[in-house]
C-alpha cells in the first residue's frame, strides 16, 4: 500500500534532535505515535479517515524512521518531551493523543507529565512498562516478551541483525498478526528500508534499553492516575497482550476514566489488521474533540 494521498512530510530540529513527521487535514489536532517495529507509515490506514475532520500529525519517534537516532534520550519522559517540542513548534496547546505499542508508552508518560496538554488518550495493544516489569517471568517471556531482554543486550542485537533486517522484521509482522500474510511484501519493504538506515536498529534497541529508566519513572508516580479519558484497544489474539493480561483491568490501574475495546481475530498491529474497526472506535472517541 502506497503512502496516503494528501500528506506532507516535514523536518525540524526540536528538543535537540532532527524530527520527522507527516501531517494531513485540518481541524483539532490528533497526534499518532507509532510503535515497534514500525514508523509513521503504520498509520497510513488511519490518516486519510481522521484527516477529514482533524489535523493529523504522525511523527517518527526518536530513533525511528527519518527522525534522528541519537545515542541517548530514549527514556519515555524525554521522548514525551520530543512530542511537546513538536506541539510547541506547530502551535498546538492541547491535543488528542493516540499511541500504539512503544508510542503508547510515550503517550502514557506524556499524559502523566503533561496533563494540561492532552485532552484524551488512546493506548493501543499495550501493557504499561511497570506492569510488565512487575509480572515478568519465564512464562511471560515465552508468551512473547523474549525480545525485551534480547534487544536490551548491549551491541549484540545490532551485530546479529545487520544485513538481516528483512528476516528480523518479517518474523514480527508474521508472528504478531492473526493473519500472517496481513502485510504485503511491498508494505514490509517500506519498513525494511526504514530499519536499514544507519543507526535505525540501534535506535529501536535503545528504546528497549531505556526500560530501567522507564520503570523508575513509572514507579515514582504509580499512585497518580491519568486524569483524561482513556480508550484502550487491543487484539484478542496477540499472545503478549490480549492473551496474557486482563487488559482493561490493567488500564483501570493506570487511569481514572477507561473504556476497553478488544478486537476479535486480531493480533498486535490492530490499526493495520483491523483498520475499519480501529477507525470507527477512534472517530467515536474523538467525536466531541473540538481543540
Other residues' Cβ atoms within 10 Å of the Cβ of residue 109: 25
pLDDT surpassing 90 at residue 229: yes
Nearest to 57 by CA among 27, 95, 87, 22: 22
H-helix or E-strand spanning residue 188: helix 185-195
Query: What values do phi and psi take at 22, rounded to 5?
Result: -115, 155
Q: What average pLDDT score do residues 127-140 get?
A: 90
Q: How many angstroms from the chain centroid is the CA of residue 255?
A: 18
pLDDT of residue 138: 74
- Asked whether the beta carbons of 226 and 117 are under 8 A apart, the reply is no
Q: Please check whether residue 159 lies inside any domain of the structure.
A: yes
Known catalytic residue: 34?
no
- Asked whether the beta carbons of 25 and 50 are under 8 A apart, the reply is yes
pLDDT surpassing 70 at residue 1: no
196 pLDDT band, cuts 50/70/90, is very high
CA distances to 74, 86, 90, 186, 205 from 166, rounded to whole Å, are: 24, 31, 35, 12, 16
Q: Quick one: 247 exposed, middle or buried, by C-beta within 10 A (0-12, 13-18, 19+)? A: buried
Q: Which of 20, 34, 92, 268 is catalytic?
A: 268
Known catalytic residue: 268?
yes
Q: Please check whether residue 199 lies inside any domain of the structure.
A: yes
- Asked whether the beta carbons of 122 and 230 are under 8 A apart, the reply is yes
Supply angle C-alpha 172, 177, 180, rounded to 5: 85
Q: Please check whether residue 50 lies inside any domain of the structure.
A: yes
Q: Please check whether residue 147 lies inside any domain of the structure.
A: yes
Residue found under cell 508508552: 105
Q: Please check whether residue 290 lies inside any domain of the structure.
A: no
Q: Please check whether residue 70 lies inside any domain of the structure.
A: yes
The structural domain count of the chain equals 1
CATH at 174: 3.40.50.1820
Close Cβ partners of 14 (under 8 Å, ≥ 6 residues apart): 82, 85, 86, 88, 89
- pLDDT, tens only, 89-113: 999 999 999 999 999 999 999 999 9
Q: Please check whether residue 28 lies inside any domain of the structure.
A: yes
Calpha distance 105→31 (Å, rounded): 14
Q: Which of 208, 214, 218, 245 is catalytic?
A: 208
Torsion of CA 21, 27, 30, 32, to 10 degrees: -40
Residue found under cell 506532507: 8
pLDDT surpassing 80 at residue 143: no
- Asked whether the beta carbons of 169 and 191 are under 8 A apart, the reply is yes
Q: Which of 75, 82, 101, 119 is catalytic?
A: 101
- DSSP label of 255: B
Known catalytic residue: 136?
no
Q: Which domain holds residue 266?
A: 8-285
Q: Please check whether residue 3 lies inside any domain of the structure.
A: no
Average pLDDT, the chain: 96
Amino acid at each position: 500500500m502506497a503512502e496516503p494521498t494528501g500528506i506532507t512530510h516535514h523536518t525540524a530540529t526540536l528538543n535537540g534532535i532532527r524530527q520527522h513527521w507527516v501531517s494531513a487535514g485540518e481541524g483539532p489536532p490528533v497526534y499518532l505515535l507509532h510503535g515497534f517495529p514500525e514508523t509513521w507509515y503504520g498509520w497510513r490506514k488511519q490518516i486519510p479517515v481522521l484527516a477529514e475532520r482533524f489535523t493529523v500529525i504522525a511523527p517518527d519517534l526518536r530513533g525511528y524512521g527519518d527522525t534522528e537516532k541519537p545515542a541517548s534520550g530514549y527514556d519515555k519522559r524525554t521522548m514525551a518531551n520530543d512530542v511537546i517540542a513538536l506541539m510547541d513548534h506547530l502551535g498546538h496547546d492541547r491535543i488528542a493523543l493516540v499511541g500504539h505499542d512503544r508510542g503508547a508508552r510515550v503517550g502514557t508518560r506524556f499524559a502523566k507529565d503533561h496533563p494540561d496538554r492532552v485532552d484524551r488518550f488512546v493506548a493501543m495493544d499495550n501493557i504499561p512498562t511497570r506492569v510488565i516489569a512487575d509480572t515478568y517471568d519465564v512464562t511471560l517471556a515465552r508468551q512473547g516478551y523474549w525480545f525485551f531482554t534480547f534487544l536490551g543486550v548491549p551491541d549484540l542485537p545490532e551485530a546479529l541483525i545487520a544485513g538481516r533486517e528483512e528476516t528480523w522484521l518479517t518474523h514480527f509482522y508474521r508472528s504478531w498478526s492473526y493473519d500472517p500474510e496481513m502485510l504485503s511484501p511491498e508494505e514490509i519493504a517500506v519498513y525494511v528500508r526504514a530499519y536499514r538506515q544507519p543507526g535505525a536498529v540501534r535506535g529501536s534497541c535503545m528504546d528497549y534499553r531505556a526500560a530501567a529508566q522507564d520503570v523508575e519513572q513509572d514507579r515514582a508516580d504509580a499512585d497518580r492516575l491519568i486524569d483524561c479519558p482513556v480508550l484502550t484497544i487491543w487484539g484478542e489474539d496477540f499472545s503478549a497482550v490480549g492473551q496474557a493480561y486482563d487488559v482493561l483491568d490493567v488500564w483501570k490501574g493506570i487511569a481514572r476514566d477507561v473504556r476497553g475495546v478488544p478486537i476479535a481475530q486480531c493480533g498486535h498491529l490492530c490499526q493495520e489488521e483491523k483498520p475499519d474497526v480501529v477507525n470507527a472506535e477512534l472517530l467515536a472517541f474523538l467525536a466531541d474533540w473540538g481543540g
